[in-house]
Amino acid sequence: MPDHGAMPDDRTSTPATTARSPLQAALDRVGDRWSLLVVESLLDGPRRFNDLLTAVPGIAPNILSDRLKRLERERVVLARPYSQRPPRLDYELTADGRELAGALRLLADWGSGAESSGALRHETCGTPLEARWFCATCARSIGDNEATELRRL
Protein backbone atom coordinates (compact mmCIF):
# COMPACT_ATOMS: atom_id res chain seq x y z
CA MET A 1 0.00 0.00 0.00
CA PRO A 2 1.59 3.37 -0.97
CA ASP A 3 2.37 5.94 1.67
CA HIS A 4 0.59 9.05 0.43
CA GLY A 5 1.88 11.12 3.33
CA ALA A 6 5.55 10.63 2.49
CA MET A 7 7.42 13.54 0.97
CA PRO A 8 9.42 12.77 -2.18
CA ASP A 9 13.19 13.08 -2.01
CA ASP A 10 14.06 16.01 -4.30
CA ARG A 11 17.33 14.37 -5.33
CA THR A 12 15.60 11.26 -6.66
CA SER A 13 12.42 12.79 -8.07
CA THR A 14 14.24 14.75 -10.78
CA PRO A 15 14.23 13.02 -14.18
CA ALA A 16 17.65 11.75 -15.26
CA THR A 17 17.56 13.98 -18.34
CA THR A 18 17.30 17.19 -16.29
CA ALA A 19 20.63 18.90 -15.63
CA ARG A 20 21.49 19.50 -11.98
CA SER A 21 22.41 23.02 -11.06
CA PRO A 22 25.84 23.60 -9.52
CA LEU A 23 24.09 24.50 -6.25
CA GLN A 24 22.21 21.19 -6.26
CA ALA A 25 25.47 19.33 -6.85
CA ALA A 26 27.01 21.09 -3.85
CA LEU A 27 23.97 20.41 -1.67
CA ASP A 28 24.05 16.74 -2.64
CA ARG A 29 27.61 16.57 -1.27
CA VAL A 30 27.35 18.65 1.92
CA GLY A 31 23.81 19.99 2.06
CA ASP A 32 22.82 19.42 5.67
CA ARG A 33 23.68 21.44 8.73
CA TRP A 34 25.63 18.69 10.47
CA SER A 35 27.91 18.15 7.49
CA LEU A 36 28.62 21.87 7.20
CA LEU A 37 29.32 22.13 10.94
CA VAL A 38 31.68 19.14 10.77
CA VAL A 39 33.52 20.76 7.85
CA GLU A 40 33.72 24.05 9.78
CA SER A 41 35.18 22.28 12.81
CA LEU A 42 37.90 20.74 10.61
CA LEU A 43 39.01 24.05 9.06
CA ASP A 44 41.65 24.53 11.77
CA GLY A 45 43.16 21.09 11.17
CA PRO A 46 42.67 17.38 11.81
CA ARG A 47 40.57 16.17 14.72
CA ARG A 48 39.66 12.87 16.30
CA PHE A 49 36.10 11.61 16.64
CA ASN A 50 35.64 12.66 20.29
CA ASP A 51 37.14 16.07 19.53
CA LEU A 52 34.53 16.49 16.79
CA LEU A 53 31.75 15.50 19.20
CA THR A 54 32.89 18.34 21.45
CA ALA A 55 33.39 20.81 18.59
CA VAL A 56 29.92 20.25 17.10
CA PRO A 57 27.50 20.80 19.99
CA GLY A 58 24.34 18.73 19.90
CA ILE A 59 25.43 16.15 17.34
CA ALA A 60 24.78 12.53 18.33
CA PRO A 61 27.64 10.05 17.88
CA ASN A 62 25.69 8.01 15.30
CA ILE A 63 24.93 11.15 13.26
CA LEU A 64 28.57 12.25 13.40
CA SER A 65 29.72 8.81 12.28
CA ASP A 66 27.23 8.87 9.38
CA ARG A 67 28.26 12.37 8.26
CA LEU A 68 31.97 11.55 8.43
CA LYS A 69 31.45 8.46 6.28
CA ARG A 70 29.40 10.44 3.76
CA LEU A 71 31.92 13.30 3.64
CA GLU A 72 34.68 10.74 3.13
CA ARG A 73 32.75 9.12 0.23
CA GLU A 74 32.33 12.60 -1.29
CA ARG A 75 36.10 13.20 -0.95
CA VAL A 76 35.57 16.19 1.35
CA VAL A 77 37.09 14.51 4.42
CA LEU A 78 40.00 12.10 4.68
CA ALA A 79 40.12 9.57 7.53
CA ARG A 80 43.61 8.47 8.60
CA PRO A 81 44.23 5.73 11.14
CA TYR A 82 46.35 6.64 14.15
CA SER A 83 45.76 3.39 16.06
CA GLN A 84 45.21 -0.16 14.78
CA ARG A 85 44.07 -1.69 18.09
CA PRO A 86 41.53 -0.44 18.70
CA PRO A 87 40.98 1.15 15.30
CA ARG A 88 40.99 4.94 15.70
CA LEU A 89 40.96 7.67 13.06
CA ASP A 90 41.98 11.29 12.59
CA TYR A 91 39.72 13.25 10.26
CA GLU A 92 40.95 16.09 8.09
CA LEU A 93 39.70 18.07 5.12
CA THR A 94 40.82 17.24 1.61
CA ALA A 95 41.60 20.02 -0.86
CA ASP A 96 37.90 19.93 -1.86
CA GLY A 97 36.93 20.30 1.78
CA ARG A 98 39.28 23.23 2.32
CA GLU A 99 37.75 24.96 -0.71
CA LEU A 100 34.50 25.15 1.28
CA ALA A 101 36.07 27.60 3.74
CA GLY A 102 35.18 30.67 1.69
CA ALA A 103 31.60 29.53 1.14
CA LEU A 104 31.18 28.74 4.84
CA ARG A 105 32.51 32.18 5.81
CA LEU A 106 30.05 33.82 3.43
CA LEU A 107 27.17 31.76 4.76
CA ALA A 108 28.15 32.50 8.37
CA ASP A 109 28.46 36.20 7.60
CA TRP A 110 25.05 36.19 5.95
CA GLY A 111 23.61 34.36 8.95
CA SER A 112 25.07 36.82 11.43
CA GLY A 113 23.74 39.87 9.59
CA ALA A 114 25.92 42.41 7.81
CA GLU A 115 25.95 44.90 10.69
CA SER A 116 26.66 42.50 13.53
CA SER A 117 29.96 42.41 15.38
CA GLY A 118 30.54 38.89 14.01
CA ALA A 119 31.12 40.18 10.46
CA LEU A 120 34.60 39.62 9.02
CA ARG A 121 36.64 42.83 9.06
CA HIS A 122 39.84 44.05 7.48
CA GLU A 123 42.51 43.71 10.18
CA THR A 124 44.25 46.98 9.23
CA CYS A 125 41.32 49.42 9.17
CA GLY A 126 38.37 47.51 10.68
CA THR A 127 36.06 47.88 7.66
CA PRO A 128 33.60 44.98 7.14
CA LEU A 129 34.72 42.80 4.23
CA GLU A 130 32.62 42.28 1.12
CA ALA A 131 32.62 39.20 -1.07
CA ARG A 132 33.07 39.89 -4.76
CA TRP A 133 33.60 37.82 -7.88
CA PHE A 134 37.08 38.30 -9.30
CA CYS A 135 38.49 37.38 -12.71
CA ALA A 136 42.12 36.31 -12.34
CA THR A 137 42.75 36.74 -16.09
CA CYS A 138 41.45 40.32 -16.29
CA ALA A 139 42.57 41.15 -12.72
CA ARG A 140 39.33 42.94 -11.85
CA SER A 141 36.10 42.54 -9.90
CA ILE A 142 33.14 41.28 -11.89
CA GLY A 143 29.51 42.34 -11.43
CA ASP A 144 26.60 39.91 -11.43
CA ASN A 145 25.59 41.09 -14.90
CA GLU A 146 28.99 40.00 -16.29
CA ALA A 147 28.98 36.48 -14.81
CA THR A 148 27.89 33.41 -16.76
CA GLU A 149 26.95 30.16 -15.08
CA LEU A 150 28.22 27.02 -16.74
CA ARG A 151 25.84 24.07 -16.61
CA ARG A 152 26.53 20.45 -17.42
CA LEU A 153 24.09 18.71 -19.72
Phi, psi of 93 (to 5 degrees): -80, 145
How far apart are the C-alpha atoms of 133 and 80, rounded to whole Å? 35
CB 94 within 8 A of CB 75: yes
Residue-wise pLDDT tens digits, 86-137: 889 999 999 999 998 888 888 877 777 655 556 677 889 988 777 777 788 8
CA separation, residue 109 to residues 65, 84, 117 (Å): 28, 41, 10
Higher pLDDT, 7 or 81: 81
Residue 49 pLDDT: 97
Residue-wise pLDDT tens digits, 58-95: 999 999 999 999 999 999 999 999 988 888 999 999 99
What's the pTM? 0.66
Query: Can you count the helices (H) and strands (E) in the chain?
Result: 6, 5
Q: Where are the domains of the chain?
A: 20-115
Cis peptide upstream of residue 87 (ω within 30 degrees of 0): no
Q: Decide which of 2.60.120.260, 1.10.287.130, 1.10.10.10, 3.40.50.620 is the CATH code for 20-115.
A: 1.10.10.10
